[in-house]
Structure 1
Amino acid sequence: MRDALPPLSCLRAFEAAARHRSFTQAGSELSLSQSAISRQIKRLEDDLGRPLFERHYDGLRLTPAGEHYFRVVQRLLRELRTESARLRRRGDDRQLTLASSPTIASIWLARQLPDFQYAHPDIEIRILTVEDPHRLDLAEFDLGIYYHVPREVDPPGLSADAIFKHEDVAAVCSPIYLERHGNIADPQDLLMRHTLMVVEDHYHDWLTWELWYRSLGLDWQPPTHTLRANSFQLLMNATLAGQGVTLGWTNLLAAEFEQGNLVKALPLALPSKGKLSLLTPRRRHLTEPMRIFRQWVLDSA
C-alpha cells in the first residue's frame, strides 16, 4: 500500500544519519554497522521514491526533501519517545530511572543505593549510564547525577542541585603504585618520573592536568609518561590497579580513601568548580519515587 508508513527502523536510521551527517556515527549510536544503516536508508528512499541524501567527497548532505523530512521525523520520534516514557512510568509508577556517568554510577552511586533500597524497598531502581550529559534524552530517565559546571557542563532542560556543597580535586593513586615506584617528592617529580592518567574526552576538558597545575600556581611542563584513554572510568580502574596517578574528586572517592584503595599522591588540592549534582528535568511532573529520592540524596549528602 502506497500510504503505508515506512518501517520504524528505517525512520530511526534516517533520523540518526541526518543528525550526525554520517552513516558510521548513526550506526555507532544505534549499535548497527555502517552498511546496515546504508541499507535502511536505501529502503526508505526507495519507498518514498526520492533521494534524501547527497553523497559528497566531504560527507553527507540532505537534499531539500531530506531536510524537510528530517524535521518531521525528528519531531515525531521525539514525541513518540516522550509519550512512550510517560505511559511506561504510569504503568510502573514505582520505578525510578537514574542517569549517571559510568564512573559516578560504579564508584559512588552503587555504594549509596543499598541504604536507599533498604529504606524504600517498594521502589525499583534502574540505572542508565551515559558519559556525556548533553547526550541524555529527557524522556529516558527521571533524575540524573553528574558533575555540573555552570555555563560549561550545563545540559539543556535540566535544573541542578549540588549534592556536595564543596569538593576538592587532588592527585590520587593507589598504595600499590607507590610501593612499585616510590613516593612522589613534589609536583615536578610527578611530571618527570611518574605516569599521569589523561582522559581524552571533551566532557572532562573543564579540568585538565595543566589547568590543575597552573591554578595551584605550579610550574607546568608536559609529563614524561602518560596513560591515555577516552574513558574516565577506565582510567580510574587503572589507577586503582596501580598503573598511575589521576585527578580525583575527594568526596566522590571518599569510600576508596577510607578503605585504603586510594591515597593522595601530593598534599595539594584544588577547589572544584564542578559539583556533583542532582539533575532534574524542568518540565517534568515529579513522581513519588522522584520526590523521595531527591529528598533522600540531598539530605544524605
Structure 2
Amino acid sequence: MSTRDALPPLTCLRAFEAAARHGSFTQAGSELSLTQSAVSRQIKRLEEDLGRPLFERHYDGLRLTPAGEHYFRVVQRLLRELRDETARLRRRGDDRQLTLASSPTIASIWLARQLPDFQRAHPDIEIRILTVEDPHRLDLAEFDLGIYYHVPREVDPPGLTADAIFAQEDVAAVCSPIYLERHGGIADPQDLLNRHTLMVVEDHYHDWLTWELWFQALELDWQPPLHTLRANSFQLLMNATLAGQGVTLGWTRLLAAEIAQGNLVHALPHKIPSRGRLSLLTPQHRHLTEPMRAFREWVLG
C-alpha cells in the first residue's frame, strides 16, 4: 500500500469481511483456509493503511468500531457485487443456464426425478447441478439456487433465504420389500431394535434426526439396537436400504416416488412430523435471472 489513494489488497478486505461477519479471527481463518495469525496480520495491515482501528478486542471476542461498522457494510456490498459479476462473466454470458446446488441425496433421489417436468416446460433452460453436502459450505458465486433441508429458527446458511417446498412432511421407518423377505416382518418397535439392522447416519453437522430422538418423540422405549450399519452419507445408506440391507429413517415426501413404486415400504406404522422442510435457498441481494424466476415459480408452486 505505497500510496494513500491505492486500494487495499483484496486479501485484506476478504479477511476483514469474514472476521467482521464471524466476530472471530479464528472462524474467519477457517472459512478462508488461513491461520488465525494470518488473518490477524491482514487486519493489522488494513488498519495501519487506514490509519484507524476497525475492531475493539474484548475478552469475549471482537467488536467493530463505528468506523469498522461503516467500512464493513461497504466492503461486504462491494465483495458481494464483485462475486456476482464474476460468476456471471464466468458463465460466458449464458443467461439460459441455471445452476442448482443440492446435497447428493436430494439431487439423486428427488431432484433428478422432478427435473424432467421442469425441462419439458422450459426446454430453453440448461440445468447444471452442483452437489455439496453442507449448505454452510456453499460459495454464493458458484450457484443460482439451492435445494436443502432447512430447520426454521436454527442457524441459517449465511446470505441465503429459505422457502419451504413441502408445507409438512413426516419421518418414518422404511425398508425395502427385499429386506422383509430375507428377515421377516417387524412386529413392533422393540422387535426392530432387538432383531433388525438399523441404518445410522454418523452426523458431522449434528443436525440429523437420530433413531433415539425418533423413539423419544413417539414416547417409545429406547435401547441401543443390536445391529447397525453406519455411514457418514445418507445417500450411501439409502442405496443400501434399497438393496435390502436394513431399515432407515426416511422423509416421506422426499421418498414419495420410491414408496409409490414399491421400492420402499413402511417398516412400522409410526411416524413423526419432520423438524426440517425441504426448502429452496435463494442468495440474498442476487439479481434473479429469468431461469431463476422460472424455477422458483415452478418448484414453489
Give the stretch that moved more between structures: 82-91 or 240-249.
Answer: 82-91
**What is the aligned counterpart of 2:290 among 280, 288, 292?**
288
1:150 shift after superposition: 1.3
Inter-partner Cα distance in structure 1 for 2:125 and 2:249: 35
1:206 shift after superposition: 4.0
Q: Which amino acid aligns with 1:235?
A: L
- Aligned match of 2:87: 85
Identity across matched positions, percent: 80
Matched, 1:156 2:158: yes
Structure 1 residues 69-102: Cα deviation after superposition (integer angstroms, max 9, x where no partner) = 7999x98987764431032357010000001000
Inter-partner Cα distance in structure 1 for 2:39 and 2:164: 45
Q: For the Cα contact (< 8 Å) 1:176–1:241, is it kept in 2?
A: yes
- Aligned match of 1:121: 123
SS in 2 for 1:161: strand
- Aligned match of 2:250: 248
Give the stretch that moved more between structures: 162-171 or 86-95.
Answer: 86-95
Q: Which amino acid aligns with 2:271?
A: A
**CA RMSD after TM alignment:** 3.3
Q: Which amino acid aligns with 2:272?
A: L
- Aligned match of 1:3: none
Aligned CA distance change for structure 1 residues 232 and 67 (closer, same or farther; 3 Å): farther
Aligned CA distance change for structure 1 residues 63 and 217 (closer, same or farther; 3 Å): closer
Aligned CA distance change for structure 1 residues 274 and 251 (closer, same or farther; 3 Å): same
Inter-partner Cα distance in structure 1 for 2:248 and 2:45: 47
Gaps in structure 2 of 5+ consecutive residues:
1-17, 19-25, 50-74
Give the stretch that moved more between structures: 82-91 or 148-157.
Answer: 82-91
Inter-partner Cα distance in structure 2 for 1:63 and 1:276: 36
Q: Which amino acid aligns with 1:293?
A: F
Q: For the Cα contact (< 8 Å) 2:28–2:39, is it kept in 1?
A: no
- Aligned match of 1:65: 41
Give the stretch that moved more between structures: 123-132 or 84-93.
Answer: 84-93
SS in 2 for 1:210: helix
1:237 shift after superposition: 0.6
Q: For the Cα contact (< 8 Å) 2:29–2:39, is it kept in 1?
A: no
Aligned CA distance change for structure 1 residues 204 and 118 (closer, same or farther; 3 Å): farther
- Aligned match of 2:278: 276
Q: Which amino acid aligns with 2:114?
A: Q
SS in 2 for 1:218: coil
- Aligned match of 1:37: none
Structure 1 residues 221-275: Cα deviation after superposition (integer angstroms, max 9, x where no partner) = 1111111111111111111111111100001001001111100100011011111
